Amino acid sequence: MKHKQTRLLVLAALLVGLVGLACGLGGATEKVDEVKQTAEAAATTLATAASELKETAEIVATQVAPTASALKETAEALATAVPTVAGEVKETAEAAATTVSEQMEQPPAGEQPAEGEGIEEATLEATSVDAALEQLSSYRSQLAMRWEGQKANGEATSGEVTVLFEQVKEPLASHMQMQTSGDAAAEMGGTGTFEWYRIGDTFYMQNPEDGSWISFTGEGMESTFSQGFFSADDMIDLPETARRSLLPETVNGISTWHYTFDKADLGPKGEGLEDASGEVWIAREGGYPVKFILDGTGAPNGEEAVGNMFVSGTYHIEYELLEVNTPLTIEPPAEAQTMPGMGGMGGMGEMGGGSEEGGYPMMDDAEVQFSMQGMLNYYTHATLGEVIDFYKSELAAQGWTANADAEYIGDDTALLTFSKDGEELNLTLNVEADGRVNVTLVSGQ
């Protein structure tokens, strides 16, 4: 294209020169025809060159248009890709920062422990599982034990117990569910399930024999129910010494130190065992056990681990904290909160609300201490006389007949007996030192 432009310019200059020459010659006739012919030839050549230049320009324009379109598409693609790439770069940077943070806890390059050298001797600061758990606002744990060996009477035995325990510190609420199999289930009446709840000062316990619920409130029960009859301390023997891994490990989202131990590390707790080996993961912050595994042979815990169900043999214990300091909702099932009726009397009335049709009457301010099928115990601030009058009136309205021959009313005690359709209802009323009246009702045939 450049060559054609140069040629066009040369021809134009030649044309101009020829025109000038023609003017200089004036009227020289003999040169006019020659100049005219030369000019016409130059004009023809110039027109041809211009046409070629136009064709070339059109070809270039045709070629440039797709390129421009491709450039536009590329720019649009880049505009879309840049935010995505930026996001990926950000994620990569965050991952790199996490990796660097983790690597900062590891020994420097060239100082990595050789095989068998990645542990150190250590003394565990946590000696009580229950005490360590007290610092948590809430937690959910699971403990499992299985065994095979002998009972106290020498009979062969095998079984498994799994306990789920959860607790919230404020407001106080806890829940324990125990599943059993093998001889452990037989010891519980064959149901294999036992469960209880604690909400404040009220306890709800499921009868393992028939699945019915019992509720009661009373002082001195906290220690019995705080950890589910047998506490974690009863089942977990933390070693006094152990081998600790040099690098931390994360268990259920908790950064821990990993320890391994054997029978010698258990100290006096290992008495009665022929052999034992285990692992325990202790939280780096808080010092509470997050996970515990123990395999043993012999007599665990001086023949007290599971009572008469197992006193010697082989066993495996595994404990784990599933959740720590997370929002937990603990609430008894509806059937636990609806207390059972008295024998054939039907459903019990609501606590503190008199009686329902065919139900069991209570004083309006009843503070229930214990409730189960056929029995109820509660406190009221009413006087002894008011309680006697209340039951004589309410039970008579329900068709009960007072047995005057079996009645006793004293200054601080009263015994009342009622009968209906072959059933008998006995009331025992006692005035306590603080002036409240303790009411106990027992029904039977």
Instruction: Find tokens 């109820």 and name the residue.
Output: 376
d(CA 336, CA 368): 14
Amino acid identity of 141? Answer: S
The set of residues, in sequence order, having a beta carbon less than 8 Å from that of 270 and lying 6+ positions away, is 237, 263, 264, 276
The pair of three-digit structure tokens given for residue 271, joined into one six-digit string: 């008495």
pTM reported for the whole predicted model: 0.57
How many alpha carbons fall within 13 Å on the CB side of residue 342?
A: 29
pLDDT tens across the length of the chain (445 residues): 444 444 444 444 444 443 443 444 344 445 446 646 755 665 576 567 556 656 755 664 566 455 556 646 755 664 565 455 445 645 654 554 444 444 444 444 444 444 445 778 887 766 678 888 888 999 999 999 999 998 878 889 999 999 999 999 999 999 999 898 888 777 666 667 888 899 988 888 887 777 788 877 755 455 555 544 556 777 788 898 999 999 999 999 999 999 999 999 998 888 889 999 999 999 999 889 999 999 999 887 644 445 556 788 999 999 999 999 999 999 999 888 765 444 333 333 333 334 433 357 899 998 887 777 777 888 999 999 999 999 999 999 999 999 988 899 999 999 999 999 888 999 999 999 999 999 999 887 6
Buried b (16+ CB within 10 A) or exposed e, 262-274: ebebbeebbebbe
Count the helices and strands in the chain (H runs, E runs): 8, 20
